[in-house]
Chains A and B, each alone.
Chain A
Amino acid sequence: MSSLRRRKPINESSDSKHKAEEEDEDHDDVDADGDDDVNGKNKKTPSKIKKKRGEKPPKQPKWSCMDTCCWFIGCICITWWLLLFLYNAMPASFPQYVTEAITGPLPDPPGVKLKKEGLEAKHPVVFVPGIVTGGLELWEGRECAEGLFRKRLWGGTFGEVYKRPLCWVEHMSLDNETGLDPCGIRVRPVSGLVAADYFAPGYFVWAVLIANLARIGYEDKTMYMAAYDWRLSFQNTEVRDQTLSRIKSNIELLVATNGGRKVVVIPHSMGVLYFLHFMKWVEAPAPMGGGGGPDWCSKHIKAVVNIGGPFLGVPKAIAGLFSAEAKDIAVARALAPGFLDNDIFQFQTLQHVMRMSRTWDSTMSMIPRGGNTIWGGLDWSPEEGNSCAKKGEKKNETQIADQAGSEYAVCKAKSANYGRIISFGKDVAEAPSSDIERIDFRGAIKGHSAANTTCRDVWTEYHDMGFAGIKAVAEYKTYTADSLVDLLHFVAPKMMARGTAHFSYGVADNLDDPKYKHYKYWSNPLETRLPNAPDMEIYSLYGVGLPTERAYVYKLSPHAECSIPFKIDTSADDEDTCLRDGVYSVDGDETVPVLSAGFMCAKGWRGKTRFNPSGIRTYIREYNHLPPANLLEGRGTLSGAHVDIMGNFALIEDVIRIAAGASGEELGGDQVYSKIFNWSENINLQLDEEIPVHSSS
C-alpha cells in the first residue's frame, strides 16, 4: 500500500524534473544507501540522502491533504476502539471505585441502607408520572411516519425530531377541535415501568426510585406505573383509552394479590392533579365516574405521596400558552438574538411548538387556579417580601407586609408585585396600581388580519386576532390570575373553549352545589372535596431553594406579521425585586412555586376543612436544594429541582419508609425550610363549612 502511494507522486514528478532527480527516482527506498554516486553535486552519501529527503517534499502535498486527514481519522478511530474495548472489558464497579477514590466513600443508596435496617416491601406502590416525562409511541400514522410503528415518538432518543421534524409535530399534535386523535393518527402511551423510568438515555425520572425500591424487595408485581397519555385532558384519557379504569383495576389487583395491603400512590408533577381527578372519578357513580362507591379510596389507598405537585398550577404554563416560551427560551433568545426569530429556513420553530402544545389539553390543567385569592391581586401577593438573597434578613419586612394593599408603599421599594403575573413593560410591573391606566380588552373588536393566508401553514390563533386585538391586549397593561384566564379566552378562544370543558380554575363558594359533580372540577383542589378516607395520608414533597418563575414582563414582538406577537422582555432586570431577564422568580423547585406545591397541605387541607371533610392528615416535606458537589455525582443526590428531586436520597428514603409501612409521624411530621406557613397565612380563604363570605383584594 505504502509503495503504491509513494509511486504515484514520483511518476507525476518524473516528467517535470531534472536529471538529478530522475536518477534518484529509482531508489524508492530511503535506506538504499547509494553506491550509485551518479549525482555529481553530492559528494558525500549522507548528503545525498539528505538531498533525497529534501526532494521528497514536492511530493508531500499529495500526501498531506487527503491522506493526513485519513490518517488522523484512522488514529482517532483506533484510539476510540481501544477505549471502547477497555471500557467494555472494565468491571462494572470500576466507575464507582474511581468515584470513591476521589470523593471518599459514597453514602449507601437509601435502598441499601434501609435494607440493612430490615425494611421490607409492604405496601404496593403506584407511580403516576407527570406531564412530558411519560413516553409516547406510535400505533398508527401517516405516510411520513412509516417504519415507526411502536417506536417512541416522545421520550427515548428523540431521533425522529431531527430527522423529520414536521412529521413529528404533526403526529404529536392532537385534533384542534376535540382534543383527541386526529384522523388516521394514533399515538399511545408506553405502558409499564419503562414508560417513565428514563426520559432520555441517561436522564432518569423514576429509575432511581425504582432501583431503590427493588433493593428492599419490590418488583413488578408490587409496583405499577400508571402511564397515561399526558397530552389529553384527564377525563379524555378515560374516554379514549380507559386509562382510569385500568388504574382502578390495577390498584384493586395489587391490593388483592398483596394480602389486602393498601397501595401507596406516588404522583409526580401533573400526575398529582391527575390522581386527584382519579380519586374523585373512582368514587363517582358510573356513567361519568368509575363507580367504585364512596369508600373506595379508604379501602385501597394508604397514602398519596405527592412529589413536586402543582396543586394550584404553575405560572410557567401561562408563558408556555401565551407565547410558547419560558425562562430558558427567553434566555436563549437574549443570548443569540435573531436565531429563534429568523424565518429564513422556514422553521418557525416556536410557532410550530406553540401550535402543537396548544392542542394538548393537559397544559391547561396547569394554569394557576384560585385566581386573585391565591395568587395575589394588583397590589399584593402572598409571597410579599420574598427576597432573592434568600438569607432571611428580610424577616422584618414580611412582618410589616400585611395582606392588604394598604401597606403597599412600604414594600414598594423592595418587593415585587407577584400578583401581576403578566405585565407589559417593566414600569407597569413596578408602578403602583393607581398609576396604571388600563383599557379593558374584553370587549375589543378583533381586527381582521390580512396576513393570515401568507403565513404558511402554521396555525396559531393569533392570526385571527388582528392588530387591533393585539393592541387591546397590550393596552390592558397588567394581568392578575383572574384576568389571565380572560386573557387566554381572548387570545385563544378555541383552545380555551376546549380547555374549560375539562378544567376549572376558580374557588368554590359552596361545595354542595350540584354543579361540582361535573368532572371538570375534579382536578381543582379548591373545587372538590377529598374523599372520605380518614386513615389516608397526603404528603407533599417538594424541593425548595431554587428561583422559580412567578411573574413575567412582556413586550410586543417587534415584527408582528406571522410570528407570535408577544414575547418576554428579556431586557428587564432588577436586582432588588427578583426580576431577571423579564421573569420575577420566587422560592420553589424551578418549576412549581412553593405556594402551589405547599398551600393545600399547609392550610387548605390541614385539619378538618371544607375541602377535607374527613380530616385526612397532611404532611409537608421540603428538601433544600444543594447542587451536586462535583461532576461525578451527575444530577446530584441532594437536588431539589423539579425532576432531579426524584434522585434525592432523602426523598427516596422517605418514600421507601412510607411504602414499608411508616406513618407520617414516624417520618418526623412536617419538614419545612421555606416560608410556606407564613405565606399561607396571607391567603384569605374560607375553610369552614359555612357559606363563605368570599373576599379578595
Chain B
Amino acid sequence: MASVLRFRKLCYVESAVKCTSVGYESFEIDEKLDKKEEDVLSANNFALEINKKRKQPKRQPKEWRCLDSCCWIIGYLCTTWWLLLFFYHCFPVTLLRVPELPGPGVRLKREGLTALHPVVLVPGIVTGGLELWEGRPCADGLFRKRLWGGGSFTQIFKRPLCLLEHLSLHYETGLDPQGIRVRAVPGLVGADYFAPGYFVWAVLIENLAKIGYEGKNLHMAAYDWRLSFQNTEIRDHALTRLKSKIELMYISNGYKKVVAVPHSMGVIYFLHFLKWVETPPPMGGGGGPGWCAKHIKAVMNIGPAFLGVPKAVSNLFSAEGKDVSYIRAMAPGVFDSEILGLQTFERVMRMARTWDSIVSLLPKGGEVIWGNMDRSPEEGHVCDFSKKSHSKTSLTTNNVNNSDVKRGFLVKDLANYGRIISFGKPASILHSSKLPTSDSKVFSRTSTSENFNNFSCGEAWTEYDEMSRQSIQNVAADKAYTTTTLLDLLRFVAPKMMRRAEAHFSHGIAENLDDPKYNHYKYWSNPLETKLSDAPDMEIYCMYGVGIPTERSYVYKLSPNSRCKSIPYQIDNSVHGEDGSCLKGGVYFADGDESVPVLSAGFMCAKGWRGRTRFNPSGIATYIREYRHKPPTSLMEGRGIESGSHVDIMGNFALIEDIMRVASGATGDEIGGDQIHSDIIKMSERINLGL
C-alpha cells in the first residue's frame, strides 16, 4: 500500500511538472494573449528551458502519427459501431424489423384452420445437422458441438482435415470408424436452419405453429443422412424411434393420423420406412400389414428424388457438380493447385464415397426410365425456359427407335439425355451407331493389376489410385454411358464402394414384384421394386418446383494434369451448345428444381402409382403439385416466397399453404387436385413401363 502511495505521489509530481511545462503555459497563452506578448514569450522560454533540462524525447510527436493514428481510426470506428449497435438494440423491435409478408399461417388461421393431424418432418440429405459424441484428439472440445449444419461451419475452416476424418464413415462397413461417433442432432433444431439465416424447415415450422402446432404434434425425424437407410436402424434405431414417435403422436392427439412431410432424400427414406414398418421383425419393424393405413393420412413429398438424381452421378464420379465446374472454368488452377497440398477434391470425394446414402440417389430404373443412347423421355425439351415454344420445327437426326414421338425439334445438337455421361461433345451428339460399342465386357478385360502406386503423392486415397492409367483411358474410350452402363462404370471405377452400397440399394425395375427376393430391404427405397403398402385411404403428394434448369447429363473429359492421386476425369466445361441448346458448360439441362429433374420427381405420381398399378395395388390416391419458380422480386424477400428451387421451395408460400391445409384435414381434391406446369404427363407417356 505504501509503495502504491509513493508511486502515485511520484506520478503526481511528474504530472505537475508537466503541467507547468505544457498545461500551464497553454493557459497563459489562451488567456493573456492580448495582454502581453512579452510575458508569454518569456514564459515560453522559461518552459522551454525546463523542457530542455528535462530532456523530453523529441520523437514523441512523430510517434503519434504512425501507430496512434491507426489506433485513433480504429477507435473511432469501434465507437461508431458500438453506438449504432446500441441504437439498434434500443429501438423497438417492430420499428427496425423488415416488414415481413404475412405468411400463409396468419391468413389460414384467420380462415379458422387449426392443428388437426400431427405432422412428421423428414429431412433430406445434407440438410440435417450432425454432432460429435466421440472423436479423435484433434477434435478436442467439440463434444456435442455441431460438425455439420446448424451453427456456423467455422470448425471446418479451423481444422479441415480433422473434420473430414470425423465426417467420413468406414470404407468397408459404411458405419462408424473406430473411435469416432458422429450422430444426428435430434429434434426440430436438427434441420430447421442449415446455416444461420439459411432456413430449411424453419419457415414451414413457423407457419404451422401459427395454427397451433407445437412440440407434441410436430416431430422432426432426424436421422444420420450419411448412412444407408437400413443402417440408421441398425446403428441408431432411427426407424424404430420414428415408428414409436408416430404411434405416440397418433394416440396422444386423439387418434388422428399423421401427415408425413419428407423432403429430397427423405422421400425415399420414408418410402423405406413405410415398407420396413410393415415387415416382420428380424428385418422390419413388425407393425403388421395395416400399420400405414392406421397411422398415416398423407405423405407429402417435397422435391422427391424418387428415381434418383443425375447430380449424384457426377458427385460420385468426379466429386463435382455444375457449380464446381463453373468455378473451375472461371478460375482455372484454384482447385487443381497442389501447392498447399490441399487436394480438396480428392479428399471430398473420398469422404463422399464413404456415404452410402449418395448411392441411394443414383438414377433408378435404368434405360427404361432415363432413356438409352438415342432416346429419352424428355426429348424435345426446350431449354429457353422463359418461353416454351414448340412451334419451330427443324430437322432431327436421331430419333429412330422412338416411334411414338414424331414431333420435330428445334435445335441441331439435340440433347441425348439418355447418355448420362459422354466423353467429349461428339460422343454426346453422334448417333449411337457411329459410336464405339459400349460393352460392359470392356471392364472385365482391363485388369487393374498393373497399378503403380507411388506413395509420394499425398495421402488422400480414392479408388482411382488403384486403377492403372490404361484402364482409365479405356473408360474414356468407351465414349458414352446410359444409366444402365453407368452402374457398370461405377462398379468398375469404385468397386469397393459399390459393393458396400449395393448391399443396401438397388436401381433396377422389378419384373415380378411377387418374387420373394423383393422382401429384402435393399429394394425398399426403390419405388420401382416395391409395392406401396395396403392403405387405400392414404394420399401421396408429389410437390416440386419447376422452371429451373436442372442437371441431367454430363460431358466429361480426361483430366489434363495426369499427376498421381488426382481424379482422372472432370466435366468438360468448355463444351457449349448454340443458343437455345440445353448444353452449357459440359452439362445438359432439363426442367426441374435445380437438383431433381421433373422426371424423377413426378413420374411415380403421374404414372407409376396413378390409379391401381402393380406398384400401387391398393390404389392410393396420388396428386402432383408443381410450383413454377419465380425469383425473388426484391432483396427484401430473401430467398423468395415463390421460389421453386430444391431447398428454397420450403419457403414457398403456396406449398406451405397446401401442406397446412392437408395437415388441418383437407384432402387432395379439396386443395385442387393436380397442378401441373411441366411436360411431366407427356414424358411419362413416353416411358414404356409395364404397370
Q: Considering the chains assembled together, what is the distance between the CA atoms of A488 and B29 in angstroms? A: 76
Shortest Cβ distance from A63 into B: residue: B64
> Could you tell me the distance between the alpha carbons of A220 and B62 in the complex, rounded to whole angstroms?
63
| Cβ contact within 8 Å between A47 and B244 | no
CB contacts (< 8 Å) of A17 on chain B: these are: 33
How long is the Cα–Cα vector from A17 to B214 in the complex, in angstroms? Answer: 76
Complex CA distance for A242 and B71, rounded to whole angstroms = 59
Does A256 belong to the interface (CB within 8 Å)?
yes
The answer to the question of B518 belonging to the interface, with a C-beta cut-off of 8 Å to chain A, is no
Closest B residue to A249 by beta carbon equals B248
A222: nearest chain-B partner, CB-CB: B237
Taken residue by residue from 347 to 371, chain A's Cβ proximity to chain B (1 for < 8 Å, 0 otherwise) reads as 0000000000000000000000000
**With a CB–CB cut-off of 8 A, which chain B residues contact A70?**
71-72, 75-76, 79
- Contact flags (1/0) for B28-60 with A, using CB distance below 8 Å? 011001000100010011011001100010100
Whether, in the assembled complex, B341 has its beta carbon less than 8 Å from a beta carbon of chain A, the answer is no
The segment from B140-148, B455-463, B597-605 that touches chain A is: B140-148
Q: Is the CB of B51 within 8 A of A189?
A: no
Determine whether the beta carbon of B61 is less than 8 Å from that of A30: yes
The 3 closest A-B pairs by CB, nearest first: A74-B75, A74-B71, A70-B75
User: Whole-angstrom distance from the CB of A27 to the nearest CB of chain B?
Assistant: 12
Given contacts A2-B64, A71-B72, A72-B75, contact A57 B22 (CB under 8 A): yes
User: Footprint of A on B, CB under 8 Å?
Assistant: 21-23, 25-26, 29-30, 33, 37, 41, 44-45, 47-48, 51-52, 56, 58, 61-62, 64-65, 68-76, 78-79, 89, 93-94, 97, 133-134, 140-141, 143-144, 158, 181, 183-184, 186-189, 192, 205-206, 209-210, 212, 214-216, 236-237, 240-241, 244, 247-248, 251-252
Take A58-B29, A92-B141, A149-B209 as given contacts and tell me if A192 and B44 are in contact as well, using a CB distance cutoff of 8 Å: no
* A46-B71 CB under 8 A given contacts A150-B188, A191-B215, A211-B143: no
A214 within 8 A of partner (CB): yes
Residue numbers in B under 8 Å from A211 (CB-CB): 143-144
Set B69, B75, B140, B184: member contacting A73, Cβ < 8 A = B75
Over the window 657-690 of chain A, the binary record of Cβ atoms lying under 8 Å from chain B Cβ atoms (1 yes, 0 no) is 0000000000000000000000000000000000
In angstroms, how far is the closest chain A Cβ from the Cβ of B401?
Answer: 52
| Shortest Cβ distance from B52 into A: residue | A50
Some 20 contacts from A to B, beta carbons below 8 A apart, are A1-B69, A2-B69, A18-B37, A47-B48, A53-B58, A54-B21, A55-B29, A57-B25, A69-B79, A77-B74, A91-B140, A139-B215, A150-B188, A188-B215, A191-B187, A215-B134, A219-B133, A220-B183, A256-B240, A257-B240
Q: Which residue of A lies closest to B134 (CB)?
A: A214
Chain B's closest residue to A258 (CB) is B237
Q: Which of A51, A73, A221, A256 contacts B236 (CB 8 A)?
A: A221
Most chain B beta-carbon neighbours within 10 Å: one of A2, A69, A189, A194: A2
Question: Which of B30, B44, B186, B209 lies in contact with A220, CB distance below 8 A?
Answer: B186
Q: Is A283 on the interface with B (CB-CB < 8 A)?
A: no
Known: A16-B33, A53-B51, A221-B237. A242 touches B72 (CB 8 A): no
Which of A2, A51, A69, A194 sits near B44, CB closer than 8 Å? Answer: A51
Contacts of A60 in B (CB 8 A): 22, 26
A501 at the interface (CB under 8 A from B): no
Question: B89 touching A93 by the CB < 8 A rule?
Answer: no
CB distance from A115 to the nearest CB of B (A): 10
Closest Cβ neighbor of B142 among chain A residues: A92
The minimal Cβ–Cβ distance linking B207 to chain A, given in whole angstroms, is: 10
A10 within 8 A of B: no
Q: Are A54 and B44 in contact (CB under 8 A)?
A: yes
Known: A78-B74, A92-B140, A219-B181. A2 touches B214 (CB 8 A): no
A246 at the B interface (CB under 8 A)? yes
How far does the alpha carbon of A57 sit from the alpha carbon of B184 in the complex, in Å? 66
- CB <8 Å contact, A146 and B93: yes
Instruction: Give chain A nearest CB distance to B66 CB in angstroms.
Output: 8
Closest partner residue, chain B, to A159 (CB atom): B89
Q: Which residues of A contact B216 (CB under 8 A)?
A: 241-242, 246
| A514 proximal to B (CB < 8 A) | no
Residues of A within 8 A of B26 (CB): 57-58, 60-61
Q: Is A49 an interface residue (CB 8 A)?
A: yes
Given A70-B75, A256-B240: A30 and B62 interface contact (C-beta under 8 Å): yes
A329 contacts chain B at the CB level, 8 A cutoff: no
For the complex formed, measure the closest distance between the CB of B532 and the CB atoms of chain A, giving whole angstroms: 27
Give which listed residue, A30, A50, A78, A146, contacts B71 with CB less than 8 A.
A78
Chain A residues with CB below 8 A from B212, complex form? 140
